[in-house]
Chains A and B, each alone.
Chain A
Amino acid sequence: MKKIFLLALLYIAYFTSFGQNNEGVVYFTRTTYWTKLNSTLTYLSKQEKERMSYMFGGKDDWANYTLLYFNDNESKYVNSEEKNDQSEGYAWRKEAYSIGRNFTKNTMTDVIEMLGKTYIVEDSLKLPEWKILNDLKEVAGHICMKAQVEDPIKNQKITAWFAQDLPSQAGPERLWGLPGMILELDINDGAVTVVASKIEFKKVDKELEPPKKLKGKKITDAEYQGMIDKFIKEKIKEEINPFWVIRY
Chain B
Amino acid sequence: MNKSLVLLIALFFTYTNLFAQNPARVTIRGVVQDTSAMTLSGATVMLLQPKDSSLVNFARANDKGSFEFRNVKNASYLLKISYVGFLPYQQKLKEFPNDVNDLGPIKIKPIAKELLEVVVKTAKAPLSIKGDTVEYNAASFKVPPGSSVEDLLRRLPGIEVDASGNIKAQGKDVKRVLVDGKTFFGDDPKAATKNLGAETISKVQVYNGKSDQALLTGADDGKKEKTINLELKDEFKKGAFGKITAAVGTSDRGVLRGNYNRFNKKEQFSVLGYANNINETGVNWSDYGEFKGNNSFNSNDNGDFGFGNGNRFYYMEGDYLNNFDGKGFTNNFGTGVNYNYTHQKTKFSSSYFYNQTKLNLDQYQSTKTFLQNSNFTTLDTNNTVSFRNSHSVAARLEQMLDSSNTIIAKTNLRFSGSNSSVNQVQQYLNNSEDVQNRINMNNGSNLNAYNFNFTAIYRHKFKKKGRTFAASSTLSTSSTDGTDNIRSLTRFFNATNVNDQIRAISQLNQNANTTTMIKAGVNYLEPLSKKVYWESFYNFNNSGQNVGRDAFNGNLESQRYDSLSTYYQNQITYNRVGSGLRFSNDGINLSFGLAVLQYDLDGKVYPQKGKPLTANISKQYQALTPNFSANIEFKNNAYMGFNYTLNVEAPSITDLQPVVQNNNPFYITSGNQDLLPAKNHELSFDISKFDPATFASIGIWSSYRYYLSQIVYSQTVDANLVTRTRPENMSGGKNFNVGMYSSFPIIKTKWTMNISGNINTSNTPTIVNTVVNQTNNKNYTINAGFSITPSEKLIMNIEGNLGFNNISYTIENNQNQNIRTKGLSTSVKWNFAKKTFFETSFDYNSYRNDRFGFDQEIPILNCSVRRLFMKENRMEVRLAAFDIFNKRQSIVQTGYLNTVSNQQALTLARYFMLSLTYNLKGHSDKLKKNGGFF
Contact = CB atoms under 8 A, between A and B. Distances in A.
A130 interface: yes
A153 interface: no
B633 A92 contact: yes
A213 B527 CA distance: 33
B297 interface: yes
Contacts of A88: 309-312, 468, 525
A177 B588 CA distance: 38
Interface stretch (A12-20, A101-109, A196-204, A232-240): A232-240
A52 B934 CA distance: 9
A213 to B, nearest CB: 15
A54 B288 CA distance: 12
A61 B60 CA distance: 39
Nearest to B289: A55
Given A54-B290, A135-B126, A179 B934 contact: no
Nearest to A93: B587
A131 to B, nearest CB: 5
Given A46-B921, A240-B695, A138 B294 contact: no
A231 B261 contact: no
A94 interface: yes
Interface string A128-147: 01111111111000010111
A80 B63 CA distance: 37
Given A88-B310, A132-B48, A54 B293 contact: yes
A206 B128 CA distance: 40
Contacts of B42: 165, 167
A89 interface: yes
Given A54-B294, A58-B342, A89 B923 contact: no
A92 B461 contact: no
Contacts of B637: 116
Contact of B692 (A90, A146, A147, A245): A245
Given A57-B294, A137-B125, A143 B120 contact: yes
Interface string A49-72: 011101111110000000000000
A232 B773 CA distance: 59
Contact of A116 (B54, B60, B636): B636
Contact of A48 (B48, B82, B342, B933): B933
B55 A147 contact: yes
Chain B interface size, as a band, is 35 or more
A57 B342 CA distance: 11
Contacts of A244: 934
A112 interface: no
Contact of B129 (A48, A83, A135, A238): A135
Contacts of B127: 135-137
A212 to B, nearest CB: 18
A55 B129 contact: no
A114 B390 CA distance: 52
B126 A238 contact: no
Nearest to B52: A131
A32 B533 CA distance: 27
Contacts of A135: 126-129
B83 to A, nearest CB: 6
A93 B120 contact: no
A81 B921 CA distance: 44
Contacts of B836: none
B466 interface: yes
B530 A81 contact: yes
B121 A138 contact: yes
A52 B241 CA distance: 12
A8 B568 CA distance: 90
A54 B82 contact: no
A222 interface: no
B827 to A, nearest CB: 17
A44 B54 contact: no
B589 A234 contact: no
Contacts of B126: 135-137, 146
A179 B588 contact: no
Nearest to B919: A47
Nearest to A96: B635
A29 interface: no
Given A145-B88, A239-B929, A241-B934, A47 B587 contact: no
A39 to B, nearest CB: 10
A91 interface: yes
Nearest to A85: B461
Nearest to B55: A130
Contact of B586 (A91, A114, A238): A91
Contacts of A214: none
Nearest to A165: B84
Contacts of A115: 691-693
A55 B296 contact: yes
A55 B293 contact: yes
A54 B88 contact: no
Contacts of A130: 54-55
Interface string A34-52: 0000100101111110111
A58 B294 contact: yes
A85 to B, nearest CB: 7
B295 to A, nearest CB: 9
B692 A131 contact: no
B124 interface: yes
Q: Which of A135, A177, A178 has the most CB of B within 10 A?
A: A135
B497 interface: no
Q: Which of A81, A88, A92 has the most CB of B within 10 A?
A: A88
Q: Which of B90, B585, B749 has the most CB of A within 10 A?
A: B749
B263 A54 contact: yes
B55 A132 contact: yes
B589 A91 contact: yes
A59 B468 CA distance: 21
Contact of B120 (A48, A117, A136, A234): A136
A124 interface: no
Contacts of B268: 54
B589 to A, nearest CB: 6
A116 B88 contact: no
Interface in B222-243: 239, 241
Contact of A47 (B241, B263, B585, B749): B241
B749 A234 contact: yes
Contacts of A31: none
A248 to B, nearest CB: 13
Given A90-B584, A91-B586, A240-B695, A47 B121 contact: no
Interface in B334-376: 342
Contacts of B923: 45, 47
A183 to B, nearest CB: 13
B582 A89 contact: yes
Interface string B447-471: 0000000000000010000101000
B85 interface: yes
B922 interface: yes
Interface string B19-50: 00000000000000000000000101010100
Nearest to B90: A134
B58 interface: yes
Chain A to chain B: the 9 pairs with minimum beta-carbon distance, closest first: A93-B587, A45-B924, A137-B126, A245-B692, A91-B584, A115-B693, A93-B633, A179-B58, A239-B929
21 contacts: A45-B922, A45-B923, A47-B922, A51-B289, A54-B268, A54-B294, A55-B294, A91-B589, A116-B692, A116-B693, A131-B55, A135-B126, A135-B127, A136-B126, A138-B124, A145-B82, A180-B44, A237-B749, A239-B928, A239-B930, A240-B695
Interface of B: 42, 44, 46, 48, 52-55, 58, 60, 80, 82-85, 88, 90, 111, 116, 120-121, 124-130, 239, 241, 261, 263, 268, 286, 289-290, 292-294, 296-297, 299, 309-312, 342, 461, 466, 468, 525, 527, 530-531, 533, 582, 584-589, 633-637, 691-693, 695, 748-749, 789, 872, 919, 921-924, 926, 928-930, 933-934
Given A48-B933, A57-B294, 11 more contacts: A47-B241, A47-B919, A88-B525, A90-B584, A94-B587, A116-B637, A134-B129, A135-B129, A137-B127, A167-B44, A234-B748
